[in-house]
Structure 1
Amino acid sequence: MIDHIVCHTQSPGLAKSLLENNSIDFGAKISQQTGDIFNNGRQDGQFHNLKIQIHHNYFIRLAGSLHTFYNALKDHVNIRGIPMNHDTFTPEKLQSVIGYLHSEFEIDPKDVSIHQIEFGVNLANLPFATEDIIDRLIVYNKYPFDRMKNIQGIGYGRESCLTQYRIKAYDKSLQNGLKDNIFRFEYSAKKMQSIFDKQIIYLSGLSDHNIWERLGERLLKAWDDCIFIDEIDIQKLSKSEQIQIKDFKNPRIWEGYSYKQRSYRKKQFNRLMSQHGQLQIKQQIRNAINHELDKMASALS
């Protein structure tokens, strides 16, 4: 569920310990002329996919996919030889990563605050082509889905971008060179306030059942708030319903609605999809998301 995170902490002792750890590639750590351990006010290091920045005031920034990091430690790679993240990242795997960071690098999870987080589900073996699912997404609330530009590797996906977060839908199997059908739906928070308001979440908090529950609720709501076109036999619709469907497929229409208009139109849209959607794809995917969330919640109990 949890993937990429950005974390902060500040500690002279931890900064020194990290800089002296030979497992982390910092490049030139100490100036031979001055003995200064910082270059241009910052040292950039990396261990597997985890990026570590240490600033002159001992401010430390950690960034990377914990899911990919786990598989890198286990040497689980895709067909391209790259540590993968298309499997299920369970709470147990997450805790093993947090434990590893604590034991190997003295990074105390109670002292590390999370400032950005990505979480979502990898849905395998859905009875629909992933590309078809992605192409049926019109808007998230009123925000259009556009082609993802920074997807890693070969892949296809679309995202809806807001100020504090993004909603992403993409083909995880294509990204990893797999023949399997894996659809990824993800909430990417650039600001934690979009999920937790003013509450500060620490790395240690990711073992809290309430935190996982909150993330799961946010992910489900994000899916519910997507306008998703099902398979419809247009000939079975009235002329007014045909016009409505044509409008609903236009992202610009949703952008132009006021909040009250959008709420009313969304009810109209959902009613049309419920009555005339032949496959009920959105509901089936919602059920699959909920099933994955329930499995993870039970592992925390």
Structure 2
Amino acid sequence: MIDNTKFLTDNQTIIERLQTHPDFVVCRPKTNNYYSLRHKDFGIKLSLDFRKAVENGKVVGFCHLEINVSPHYHFNQYRHNGNDFTPLQAISTISDILTYLDVKQREYNELNVCNIEFGLNIIPDADTKDLINGLYFYKKTPFTIPDTKKPYFKKTDATNYKQIKAYAKGLQFLDVPPYGINPNTFRFEVKSKQAKNICKYGINTATDLLNLETYNRLGQSLLNEWDFILCSNKEPDLSNANTDEVYFIEQGANVEFWSKLITEKHRNTFQLNREKYYKILGRKNNLHQQIKTKIVDKIFIYSKCANSTQRTPINREKLQNGKTTSTLINLEYAHFTKCLVTGLNISMQKKGSKFLCFSGLKYYKENAPEIYKSLKKKFLSEKMKTEKTERQFYYMAHNIRNSKTNPIHNRKSFEKRNYNTQQLQINF
């Protein structure tokens, strides 16, 4: 999930130690204000930039050090970053890098995170090239192609401190089949360039990157950012659409249509038309929803992997500045939207949802049948288990909600209206 990351420290002990690390060689600095080193084998993927301290025109030392690392590349022996990279793997890899650099655990809070990239590699059902061609806007900021030689790499400067990137990761490694990277791999990524923005993710120092809660927040952030993306389908199946719908979808395939909407005097015009566009496309043609589902699936898998090693100790050392790391990794999926009754992830549902409902139940039935089976056992009577799936969803969602809002009266009145009087009742 995490890739290029920059740590900044003014701790002179760390600076002096890394200045003499035997595996680094002098390289061209990014500006004349720096003295730079890169790893002798891995190059700039693992590099050090020392900010010069100058007095009376002479360099008298270094005021701070910037440590540039690429955890995902490190995980793959610096060959590629085209595969999955789970939170647990990221934690282990970052710890490994810092150990290699001879940074002590008690010094982790001395490394401030000032630059970070995080994202997911997804294999869409649609052709990645078509998907990227249809990416027009993040909110109302257009995507651009920085390098015309790389037409399937797009980015948008969302703010002065944040970039959104979307590109065909699989195309980068077509000439190295042994890496096993699917040619259709799509990467969606956020780059945060200022500490004041990074802290919004609960990240301040290297210590925070060793906490699984951090990755929960990053995953939720990726979902939230994807919701702001306008993704057009240039070749939808319109066989079931009426004339007006066909016309609107055909208009929506052109970026100029959306650009004009942005200039409308009503600020909600763009958003309302985007919602209308996605609704008409439906599930079959809605590439945006398909990718969102893939993101949710990937995050859900990461969460299950983390929970399989629950309460694994990672660090018990006392840190400087009176801080300590968490003695246990908290693996609860807390920072993603969760049902207030079941505790299950409901990120796939409409924003603001509090309880597992129709779309969430459908998701678990299709993607996590064992979880769905346990839900049926708890929230459906024997008789209702024989009903059609849609009616099962309805009754389950109602019983889930009422077990929180009014566990006795509401359930009884609901059953009286809908259940046969001889039917076995549900006890929560």
TM-score in terms of structure 2 length: 0.58
Q: Which residue of 1 aligns with 2:260?
A: 253
Q: Which residue of 1 aligns with 2:135?
A: 137
Question: For residues 9 and 298 of structure 1, do their structure 2 counterparts lie closer, same or farther at Cα, with a shift above 3 Å needed?
Answer: farther
Are 1:160 and 1:167, in contact at CA under 8 Å, matched by a contact in 2? yes
Question: For residues 66 and 198 of structure 1, do their structure 2 counterparts lie closer, same or farther at Cα, with a shift above 3 Å needed?
Answer: closer
Are 2:201 and 2:218, in contact at CA under 8 Å, matched by a contact in 1? no
In structure 2, distance between residues paired with 1:187 and 1:198? 12
Question: For residues 24 and 279 of structure 1, do their structure 2 counterparts lie closer, same or farther at Cα, with a shift above 3 Å needed?
Answer: same
Are 1:140 and 1:227, in contact at CA under 8 Å, matched by a contact in 2? yes
Residue identity matched to 1:26: V
Question: For residues 5 and 21 of structure 1, do their structure 2 counterparts lie closer, same or farther at Cα, with a shift above 3 Å needed?
Answer: same
In structure 2, distance between residues paired with 1:192 and 1:229? 33
Aligned with residue 284 of structure 1, among 283, 290, 293: 290
Q: Could you give the per-residue CA deviations for residues 230-269 of structure 1, whole angstroms, max 9, x where no partner exists?
A: 3142893434761465157324124324533333323322
In structure 2, distance between residues paired with 1:140 and 1:146? 11
Q: Which residue of 2 aligns with 1:169?
A: 166
Q: Does 1:60 align with 2:58?
A: no
In structure 2, distance between residues paired with 1:261 and 1:13? 56
Are 1:143 and 1:255, in contact at CA under 8 Å, matched by a contact in 2? no
In structure 2, distance between residues paired with 1:45 and 1:58? 16
In structure 1, distance between residues paired with 2:190 and 2:96? 26
Are 2:3 and 2:118, in contact at CA under 8 Å, matched by a contact in 1? yes
Q: Does 1:271 align with 2:279?
A: yes
Residue identity matched to 2:207: S
Of the two, which has the highest radius of gyration? 2
For residues 85-100 of structure 1, the aligned pairs below 5 Å read: 85-100=81-96
Question: For residues 235 and 145 of structure 1, do their structure 2 counterparts lie closer, same or farther at Cα, with a shift above 3 Å needed?
Answer: farther
Are 1:195 and 1:218, in contact at CA under 8 Å, matched by a contact in 2? no
In structure 2, distance between residues paired with 1:100 and 1:240? 55
Question: For residues 261 and 200 of structure 1, do their structure 2 counterparts lie closer, same or farther at Cα, with a shift above 3 Å needed?
Answer: same
Question: For residues 20 and 290 of structure 1, do their structure 2 counterparts lie closer, same or farther at Cα, with a shift above 3 Å needed?
Answer: same
Question: For residues 254 and 201 of structure 1, do their structure 2 counterparts lie closer, same or farther at Cα, with a shift above 3 Å needed?
Answer: farther
In structure 1, distance between residues paired with 2:5 and 2:229? 24
Q: How many residues align?
A: 277
In structure 2, distance between residues paired with 1:11 and 1:194? 23
Q: Which residue of 1 aligns with 2:204?
A: 201
Residue identity matched to 2:191: S
Q: Does 1:43 align with 2:57?
A: no
Q: Could you give the per-residue CA deviations for residues 18-54 of structure 1, whole angstroms, max 9, x where no partner exists?
A: 11111111369xxxxxxxxxx9653201122212111
Q: Does 1:296 align with 2:333?
A: no
Unmatched tracts of structure 1, length 5 or more: 29-38, 77-82
Q: Could you give the per-residue CA deviations for residues 51-107 of structure 1, whole angstroms, max 9, x where no partner exists?
A: 2111233401022422112323xxx6xxxxxx1000112223322332223322232
Q: Which residue of 1 aligns with 2:120?
A: 121
Are 1:10 and 1:59, in contact at CA under 8 Å, matched by a contact in 2? yes
Question: For residues 166 and 9 of structure 1, do their structure 2 counterparts lie closer, same or farther at Cα, with a shift above 3 Å needed?
Answer: same
Q: Which residue of 1 aligns with 2:243?
A: 238
Give the secondary structure class of the aligned counterpart of 1:25.
Answer: strand
| Identical aligned residues as a percent | 21
Aligned with residue 229 of structure 2, among 202, 217, 226: 226
TM-score in terms of structure 1 length: 0.80
Structure with higher strand content: 1
Cα deviation for residue 226 of structure 1 reads 1.1
In structure 2, distance between residues paired with 1:172 and 1:106? 33
In structure 1, distance between residues paired with 2:151 and 2:46? 22
Give the secondary structure class of the aligned counterpart of 1:212.
Answer: helix
Residue identity matched to 2:221: R
Residue identity matched to 2:167: Y
Structure number with higher relative contact order (C-alpha < 8 Å, ≥ 6 residues apart): 1
Q: Which residue of 1 aligns with 2:380?
A: none
Give RMSD over aligned pairs.
2.9
Cα deviation for residue 216 of structure 1 reads 0.9
In structure 2, distance between residues paired with 1:93 and 1:265? 41
In structure 1, distance between residues paired with 2:212 and 2:201? 19
Q: Which residue of 2 aligns with 1:5?
A: 5
Unmatched tracts of structure 2, length 5 or more: 53-61, 307-330, 332-428
Are 2:155 and 2:164, in contact at CA under 8 Å, matched by a contact in 1? yes
